[in-house]
Amino acid sequence: MLITMLTSNLFVVYATWPHYLRHMTTEPAVDRIDRAILTHLAKNARMTNKELASEVGLSQSACLERVRRLNDLDIIRGTHVDVDPAAFGIGLQAMVAVQLKRHTRSAVARFEQSAITLPQVVALYHLTGRMDYVVHAVAQDMDHLRDFTLDAITSLPDVSRVETSLLFRATKKQVWPNLTEED
């Protein structure tokens, strides 16, 4: 988009930066208004642009342009729905701490590739410390979790040790905390 302005008898041309140059600027990627937009969308991604614009104090067109820019910059990475796990037959969740035999790049890559393909695995977290990974796993019941742990996880060639903890409840913030200095 090009905008031309007449200033002191001179034409000044402003252009939006190409996508690949946007990350090269020293300016922060988001400002206070962008963070307000992100906060509202994180709480309710289904709100209309009209509602969002009203909440953050922008015109609808300015708000829509900011949301598009946040999408283009991959700051907004998707829209999600919070679904009751029981709808998928999930009766319990567990965090499975895994220690690898070796810590080579190839062993780490093999474990990640194998583990993430297992249907019971929701997420992998690569850690520092005694255990190398925490695997967020789901199961129908205790027997299913035991079978998953013994047959799927401990049988992976790079796994040395496994510790399983059941999740009683997960409490999660809807919005990332703002750790930036305010504008």
Reduced 3-state DSSP string for the chain: CEEEEEECCEEEEEECCCHHHHCCCCCCCCCHHHHHHHHHHHHCCCCCHHHHHHHHCCCHHHHHHHHHHHHHCCCCCCCCCCCCHHHHCCCEEEEEEEEECCCCHHHHHHHHHHHHCCCCEEEEEECCCCCCEEEEEEECCHHHHHHHHHHHHCCCCCEEEEEEEEECCCCCCCCCCCCCCCC
CATH classification of the domain holding 99: 3.30.70.920
The verdict on 67 and 126 lying in the same domain is no
What range defines the domain where residue 156 resides?
Answer: 85-167
Please count the structural domains in the chain. 2
pLDDT tens series, the chain, 183 aa = 333 333 333 333 334 444 444 445 545 578 999 999 999 999 999 999 999 999 999 999 999 999 999 999 999 998 888 889 999 999 999 999 999 999 999 999 999 999 999 999 999 999 999 999 999 999 999 999 999 999 999 999 999 999 999 999 988 888 888 888 765
The verdict on 109 and 163 lying in the same domain is yes
The verdict on 67 and 91 lying in the same domain is no
Q: What is the pTM of this model?
A: 0.72
